[in-house]
Amino acid sequence: MGNSVRKVLRTSVLICGCAFFLLQAAAQQPSLEGVATGKTRVIDLSYAISDQMVPWPGDAKAFEAKINATVEKNGYFTRSFWMLEHYGTHMDAPAHFPPGTTTVDRIAPEKFFGPAVVLDVTKEAERDPDYQLSAKDISAWEQKHGSFPVGAIVLLRTGWSARWPDVARYRNQDVNGKMHFPGFSVEAAKALLARKVSGLGCDTLSIDPGNSPDFPVHHLMLGAGVYQLENLADLRELPEAGAFVIAAPIKLEGGSGGAVRVFALAGK
């Protein structure tokens, strides 16, 4: 067999191999059509709203529901409810912290849809509850999975949802009342802004670590127009790459944020 023939065969094998892996990867990508057929998993990342959730320290009242009508008396069932904008699984709109100004009803709707980038720091958080995601963690993800996709929604998986809804364990306050849970560092936030992400999310009370006195990541990200998802439910089922996130906040006129239903679409 001549050298030219061997080169052609090697090239053909390489092309076929690449095509096979690309097709395999494409088949594993979640799709809306796959939801109905069961090929795509729908993962609910939101907690059901009630008065049993973990409020921010100092929030004496966070939620109240009242029955307006009953089937027995009125022939139908309705309730009214009152709640804080930043309670349970919620979205921080840019207007929540200066210099951000955009309210939750004014966020461009296309920003609510995006490929998920899951940054897992569960082991680090077990060792250090004050752990802050670093730029090195972001680079490590890219070494494994490639560059961030355009318009990514970045989710920080810390394992903190295992403490929900135990108020004491979830807040993890010390004797001085300071909370201790992991979050994003300013260094990491700047790196994510450079990658033009659409949103950030975490499975803790705040994007900033619990011991932060002045919320620098809030100021930085919200000031740049990047919304935040806080108190996300268990992120363990999400792959580090390949899932797709849908975040649907309440369209509250003039709101600094509000309750949000967050779904992830993932392959089987």
With contact defined as beta carbons under 8 Å apart, do 193 and 220 qualify? yes
Active-site pick, 96, 180, 218, 219: 96
Q: Which two tokens stand for residue 255?
A: 């709101």
C-alpha dist (Å) from residue 149 to 146, 152, 198, 209, 265: 9, 6, 11, 26, 16
Exposed, middle or buried: residue 252 (CB in 10 Å: 0-12, 13-18, 19+)? middle
Catalytic: 96? yes
Active-site residue list: 96
